[in-house]
Structure 1
Amino acid sequence: MSAVLLHGDVQASADGSRGGVGWSAIGAPAGMDELVGLVVRRLLLADEVAAAKLADGRPIDDPARERRLLDAVAAESARAGLPPEDGVRFFRAQIEAGKRVQRGLHARWRAHPELRPRRHADLATEIRPRLDRLTPRLLRLLKETAPVRASVGRCWAASAAARLDVEARTGLDRLHRDALDAALVPLCARSGRARQGMPGS
């Protein structure tokens, strides 16, 4: 495949506190660095999803699973103290970004069958559990980075620095870079609390 998997976890928040995030050596909040790293990790799993779906003849779109995931994200966001609409908006973008990768890979593999993976993991028992394990970590980091993301300008600067760091450690091709663009759009959108004029907006 054209993308290089991340090896090991991205550096976590330096201070581990709920009220703020530490700063990494690249100048981005460490929580944002980890968050963008996990977004990339999830996108790279879309390669495996694409291979499994092509081999099994499954459609890329799976509305029932998407709805179950977004319902679970809303509930888990509320438990974590994150506005549910923020978690759902973020994960809707992750789903669409993943499907963008899948569609691009299916088109590439149909045009060039020699590039099609010869083996694939099982979607239900191997790949989806790995995706599901990322969900609470991503929501936790959304919550932790809320102080940075509350300022659009600071958020864009931090996410751009984090992205440069992650891309320096990966071999993302154009397809995955475009998908990453789409996946990161909700990071710096105004939160539900900010729109309502609640404290911290």
Structure 2
Amino acid sequence: MRTVAAVSAFAALTVAAAPTAATEPQSPLVPLVDAAAQRLQTADQVAAYKFKTGGPIDDPAREQQVIDSVTAMARSDHIDPAYVGAVFRNQIDATVSVEHTRFAQWKLDPGAAPATAPELADTRKTIDRLNQVMVHEMAAQWDVLGSPACEADVDSAIRSVVTARALDAVYQPALAYATRSYCR
């Protein structure tokens, strides 16, 4: 009986002493990566709208409008517009890939398609707000994005956001793609 109690006490102390995500220092890039994940997650709403209305997934005019907008914000925030444009190109490509994935899933299983979809204009307002957050976070973390620790900070932020947002097998690689050029 004493052995069981001793082992139980040791196990309790070991578990209590184990580091957890909450005790690890948070990456300064979590707010940026979280905004990127939230922006990616709008892909389900956009895809649902386009699927219901029969609209095309690809929208080069809208994509260029976004790139023009974020590069203008970058200039206002005194950061490299070409860098911001490249980051958002990856973000857009990841988002469009999620939309294509959802279309394929719903085509193969129409019962899985959403019954309703929010208005595209409403979802785009959310996207535009998140674009602003992302550009402002890039400006705020400009030194971190150019530091030797950047890759580790991005990886740590991705892990934190994947866990916090419970991102699935579609969104995890999309987030990795969207953030792949963060380190300058």
TM class by shorter chain equals 0.7 to 0.9
Shift of 1:143: 1.1
**Maintained 8 Å contact 1:73/1:88:** yes
Equivalent positions of 1:35-184 (< 5 A) are: 35-124=32-121, 126-151=122-147, 153-184=148-179
Shift of 1:117: 0.5
Shift of 1:171: 2.1
User: 1:19: which partner in 2?
Assistant: none
Structure 2 unaligned regions, length at least 5:
1-21
**Maintained 8 Å contact 1:53/1:59:** yes
Give me the TM-score of the superposition, normalised by structure 2: 0.84
Deviations 1:7-49 (A, max 9, x none): xxxxxxxxxxxxxxxxx9532333x011111111001111100
The count of corresponding residues between Structure 1 and Structure 2 is 163
Cα RMSD, aligned residues only? 1.3
The DSSP-based 3-state class of the residue aligned with 1:119 is coil
Distance 1:179 1:110, change over 3 A: same
User: 1:29: which partner in 2?
Assistant: 27
Amino acid at match of 2:163: A
User: 1:195: which partner in 2?
Assistant: none
**Maintained 8 Å contact 1:27/1:161:** no
Distance 1:139 1:25, change over 3 A: farther
Amino acid at match of 1:162: A
Amino acid at match of 2:135: L
Structure 1 unaligned regions, length at least 5:
1-23, 191-201
**Maintained 8 Å contact 2:158/2:176:** no
Higher RCO (CA 8 Å, separation ≥ 6 residues): 2
The DSSP-based 3-state class of the residue aligned with 2:31 is helix
Deviations 1:63-92 (A, max 9, x none): 111111111111111011111101111111
Tell me the distance in 2 between the aligned counterparts of 1:28 and 1:148.
13
Amino acid at match of 1:28: Q
**Maintained 8 Å contact 1:48/1:120:** yes
